[in-house]
């Protein structure tokens, strides 16, 4: 796997689009997260009106320990769509320019190609999860009056890693099936931003918990909006069932990707 990743790295290290999108995530997320925390804490610490004090009580300081991990994971998830788009670009470019076919002609098996792309998926998940951890730690230490509960909510870093894996697995599936860069990105964003949310909303309005088991909602619900008052939370589904659902979806996507690519016509 490491050998395959090294080959993938040689392909992308001079690819300008890779560095632009990757840097956008690595830079914009930490800056946006820290500035949001700074402005919020500044305003809450200077709260004078009844409305500001009520808001402070309802939101329960999302940027201090142990909730800093939750806030970091949630905001990181908003920016992670950039990595999803980048992953689609890296896969569809191989297909459109026939480099995946050339790799196989040169001696790779089809599974080698998939493993190489999976190594990139693991790389993106590891780097982004590390960034979520660092920013949760930095913001928590900077704004918490005490570090006694520093690691109480660190499970959200793990939830983010699961979220990132599921989102990139979906991106992998869409890219392999559709092959065209533009259309793949449109379909991916339609699923992420519209279809999954609409289906969740339909089930939620019917007072059903089924919506929380939708492919992406399963992980989104593990890291809900930290700025939403707890009184508005309608989910009663346990975290562990959503974790199981997320792993199930990842396994399904992997099975479809492998089954399809083994039989796919590499000339198209």
Q: pLDDT of 136-145, one tens digit each?
A: 999 999 998 8
Lowest-pLDDT range of 79-88, 115-124, 212-221, 228-237:
228-237
Which band of pLDDT confidence, cut at 50, 70 and 90, is reported for residue 1? confident
pLDDT of residue 70 exceeding 60: yes
The answer to whether residues 166 and 80 touch, using CB atoms and an 8 Å cutoff, is no
**Average pLDDT value for residue range 70-75:** 96
Question: Contact at 8 Å (CB) between 94 and 180?
Answer: no
Q: What is the pLDDT of residue 173?
A: 96
- Show the tokens assigned to 15: 């690819």
Q: Is the pLDDT of residue 58 over 60?
A: no
Find the mean pLDDT for residues 242-259: 96
When the pLDDT of each residue in the chain is averaged and rounded to a whole number, the result is 88
- Encoding tokens for residue 188? 């991916």
Per-residue model confidence (pLDDT) at position 59:
56
**Per-residue pLDDT band at 61 (split at 50, 70, 90):** confident
pLDDT at 123: 97
pLDDT at 75: 96
Cβ-contact 153, 67 below 8 angstroms: yes
Q: What is the pLDDT, as a whole number, of residue 109?
A: 80
Which pLDDT score is estimated for 167? 97
pLDDT score of 53: 55
Q: What is the pLDDT of residues 77-129, one digit of tens each?
A: 999 999 999 999 999 988 776 666 566 555 678 888 899 999 999 999 999 99
User: Can you spell out the DSSP letters for 13-67?
Assistant: TT-HHHHHHHHHHHHHHHHHHHHHHHHHHHHHHT--SHHHHHHHHHHT-TTSTTT
Would you say residue 268 has pLDDT above 90?
A: no
Q: Grade residue 73 by pLDDT with cuts at 50, 70 and 90.
A: very high
**Distance between CA atoms of residues 99 and 120, nearest Å:** 16
Whole-structure pTM value = 0.91
- Would you state the torsion angle of the CA atoms of residues 146, 151, 155, 158, taken in this order, to the nearest 10 degrees? 110
User: Quick check: helix, strand or coil at residue 100?
Assistant: helix
List the single range of 156-165, 184-193, 227-236 with lowest mean pLDDT.
227-236
């Amino acid at each position: 796997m490491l050998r395959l990743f090294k080959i993938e790295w040689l392909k992308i290290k001079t690819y300008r689009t890779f560095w632009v999108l990757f840097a956008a995530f690595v830079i914009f997320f930490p800056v946006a997260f820290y500035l949001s925390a700074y402005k919020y804490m500044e305003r809450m610490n200077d709260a004078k009106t009844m409305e500001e004090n009520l808001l402070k009580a309802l939101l329960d300081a999302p940027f201090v320990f142990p909730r800093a991990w939750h806030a970091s994971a949630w905001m990181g998830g908003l920016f992670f769509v950039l990595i999803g788009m980048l992953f689609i670009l890296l896969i569809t470019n191989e297909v459109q320019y026939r480099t995946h076919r050339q790799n196989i002609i040169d001696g790779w098996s089809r599974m080698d190609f998939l493993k190489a792309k999976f190594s990139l998926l693991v790389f993106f998940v590891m780097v982004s999860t590390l960034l979520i951890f660092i920013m949760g730690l930095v913001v928590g230490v900077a704004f918490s009056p005490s570090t006694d509960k520093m690691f109480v909510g660190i499970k959200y870093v793990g939830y983010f890693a699961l979220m990132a894996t599921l989102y990139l697995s979906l991106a992998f599936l869409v890219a392999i099936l559709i092959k065209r860069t533009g259309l793949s990105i449109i379909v991916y964003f339609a699923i992420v931003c519209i279809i999954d949310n609409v289906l969740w909303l339909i089930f939620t309005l019917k007072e059903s918990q089924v919506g929380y088991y939708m492919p992406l909602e399963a992980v989104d619900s593990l890291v809900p909006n930290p700025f939403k008052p707890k009184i508005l939370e309608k989910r009663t589904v346990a975290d562990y069932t959503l974790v199981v659902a997320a792993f199930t979806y990842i396994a399904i996507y992997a099975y479809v990707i492998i089954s399809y690519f083994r039989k796919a016509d590499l000339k198209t």
